[in-house]
Chain A
Amino acid sequence: MSLTGWSKALSEAKGLKTGDLPEGEELKRFVERRHATGRVWHAVFLASTMVGIIALSALLLNIMDGAFGLVAVRNRVEPGALAIDGVPLQQLSAEQLVTVLQTHLSAAVVRRLDSEQPLAGRSQAELYALVLDRVVSPEVLKAWTLGQSLFGRAEVEQIMAQDFPDARLAFRSWLNPDLLRNTQSSVPERAGVRTAVLGSLWIILITVAVAFPTGVGAAIYLEEYARDNWINRVIQTNISNLGGVPSIIYGLLGLVVFVRGLEPLTSGTLLGLSDPTTANGRTILSAGLTLALLILPLIITNAQEAIRAVPRSLRYAGYSLGATKWQTIAAHVLPNSLAGILTGTILAMSRAIGETAPLVVVGATTFIAVDPTGPFSKFTALPMQIYQWTARPQDEFRRIAAAAILVLLVLLLTLNALAILLRNRYSRRGY
């Protein structure tokens, strides 16, 4: 529009009739009304945030409620009765502790303990722990939740006096070092999550090692190389949809492909790493590969988003200097999308570590007391263990389950923190 055109438009604007737009008092009221609308939405958004925070707090409280609380404990032998010549149990010498063990335990048990590690060679502290565990052998008769312990103390003491007069009341944190040290056991006081934590770590290692390079590779291909034709659009749509397929379906796929179909490979017999007579495909490798399939669509779509977010101008800058496509991708696209790609991988990893259903199908063992030693080991995983414990009738197992959930959360947070550190390091390197 030329200058004359502008001035004409301006004079038209001056000729605007009063009353077309609110003025004076009306303007004030109108502005106030618009602000009021804004405040309503503000409150709605705050409310949705609060709902989320309340839900999360309720979850955490519920877990805490189960993981800590009062217990009624009865010792099989009171420690006071084990004192020798007035010297309390804790101050006995190593030799005296061995004698205590020999007098209170059957010869067979003593032999077994001795064969695990010679009793004579054990330190006083180790022997004391052994005596506490085997001879004193405290047994949890009843466990209360944290809520009951804090707010229903009178009732708890009444039950104690009535039902367990010979037991003592103690506060127990079910989340304790023994939980991490011990393997699975049918006695809740001795049950631990070591096997499950190691299983989960092994699985996640294989999952990420397979899914990360495959997913990022596929994302680079789809974003940078694939032409926009119908085949690629079909592939793209399918990948996006696969992210929404229920995880149990992936479990079934894993069962057919990895556990059964590729059994020689996943059991380790092909590589001569397992005993062919007992080995089968229900191994860590099968589970890891199954979970890799599960998170592959997530990693691909997230990595695609990250790659797409790299400004076009940066690619043009690369090309305009005579860079080839790969040089441009390697030097500019990938470094600038790496932070986003890693964020997507963290999310996918968190999902994989909490998955239970596919592991049930590919054959996670619910009761296993042997640590996994490699990709071809039988395994269980933390969520499997938690699921199995919550399904048991005894109250005590539900307490351990709550403690194991805390372990799972800490494990998740630790892995995420590691990944975030890694991400920050990479994104800083590119300025």
Chain B
Amino acid sequence: MTDMVLNEAKQAVLSATDADAQGVCPVSNADGDCAILVRDLHVYYGGFRALKDVDLRIASRQITAIIGPSGCGKSTMLRSFNRMNELVPTARTEGQVVFRGKNIYDPDVDAVEVRRRIGMVFQKPNPFPKSIYENVAWGARINGFRGNMDGLVESSLSHAALWDEVKDKLQQSALALSGGQQQRLCIARAIAVRPEIILMDEPASALDPIATLKIEELMRELARDYTIVVVTHNMQQAARVSDSTAFFMMDEDRAGYLVEYGPTRQLFTNPHDKRTEDYITGRFG
């Protein structure tokens, strides 16, 4: 059984391997360039294997959604893109995550530098208990920003569609904002350090439908300048906002693996894999 599942998983990434030869992403944008290339990725927490044998290519300046049932390793996948998994003491990663032509897990790569280029937005809004201004400015300051800080704060907040709502209360506590505003502040905070990629871990799951809609609009807006990878439980959301979708599942040992990866429209309307079809039609999970 396991072998069969494994073979199918291999099949799913076969197209990726073919595309590799041509040097383009299977799901590509107009330029056809690739932001992150994942090869043979395995992630372990102690003796437990959370992710096995993942091959994946993330297209530049697009939104890639990662969907799948609970516990299938979606968040682990996302966190391995900027080495946040390392903050779990027992975590161990095998395989490659290539960013800018370099495996970010090479010993000579500093995780701090990786995270400056690959930012992250979390499931629960987690602004710093400081002022709104300070929330945006802090990341830039610790990264040695020498420019006009007021300008950076304004442009970051504007990009995050929050400027008009907070411009008169920049010195107030960020904790006084609503949940949706806090999440957009976290996005502003992430783009203030000028990353290339923004990882979003269920960014709207703690928000009401209106705030969710705003975040989704914002994601579309940001995809013009940034590569976005988003983990979501909400399949409608994945279908609405993403350009391509990766579907993960877990095997009997609860190790997550990639089942199918392709353009969102194709994955949702005409999935190649029976399991994908079952999942998106709500037959399990």
Contact = CB atoms under 8 A, between A and B. Distances in A.
Contact of A322 (B113, B131, B173, B186): B113
A6 to B, nearest CB: 12
A322 B142 contact: yes
Contact of B112 (A2, A227, A324, A331): A324
Interface stretch (A76-84, A100-108, A307-315): A307-315
Interface string B53-69: 00000000000000000
Given A227-B89, A322-B116, A324-B112, A317 B142 contact: no
Name, among A315, A331, A336, the residue most crowded by chain B CB atoms within 10 Å (CB to CB): A331
B129 A430 contact: yes
Contacts of B84: 316, 319-320
Interface in A1-47: 2-3
A418 interface: no
A317 B89 contact: no
B126 interface: yes
Nearest to A227: B89
A319 B115 contact: yes
Given A321-B189, A322-B115, A313 B139 contact: no
B131 A321 contact: no
Interface in A316-363: 316-324, 327, 331-332, 336
A228 interface: yes
Interface string B114-153: 0111011010101111110000001100110000000000
A357 B127 CA distance: 49
B82 interface: yes
A430 B189 CA distance: 18
Interface residues of A, number: 23
A323 B142 contact: yes
Given A336-B129, A431-B130, A323 B139 contact: yes
B116 A321 contact: yes
Contact of B139 (A3, A227, A321, A324): A321
Interface string A222-250: 00000110000000000000000000000
Interface string B91-131: 00000000000000000000011011101101010111111
A313 B112 CA distance: 17
A332 B116 contact: no
B115 A327 contact: no
B175 interface: yes
Given A2-B284, A227-B89, A321 B143 contact: yes
Nearest to A3: B282
A409 B142 CA distance: 46
A314 B115 contact: no
Nearest to B138: A331
B72 interface: no
Interface string B171-198: 0011100000000001001100100000
Given A2-B284, A228-B89, A327-B142, A320 B190 contact: yes
A316 B117 CA distance: 15
Contacts of B174: 431
A66 to B, nearest CB: 49
Name, among A311, A313, A317, A323, the residue most crowded by chain B CB atoms within 10 Å (CB to CB): A317
Contacts of B129: 314, 336, 430-431
Closest 6 CB pairs of A and B: A322-B116, A321-B139, A320-B120, A431-B173, A313-B126, A322-B115
Interface of B: 82, 84, 87, 89, 112-113, 115-117, 119-120, 122, 124, 126-131, 138-139, 142-143, 173-175, 186, 189-190, 193, 282-284
Given A331-B138, A430-B130, 20 more contacts: A2-B283, A3-B282, A314-B128, A316-B87, A316-B120, A316-B122, A316-B126, A317-B122, A317-B127, A319-B84, A319-B87, A320-B119, A320-B190, A321-B115, A321-B116, A321-B189, A321-B190, A323-B112, A323-B139, A430-B129
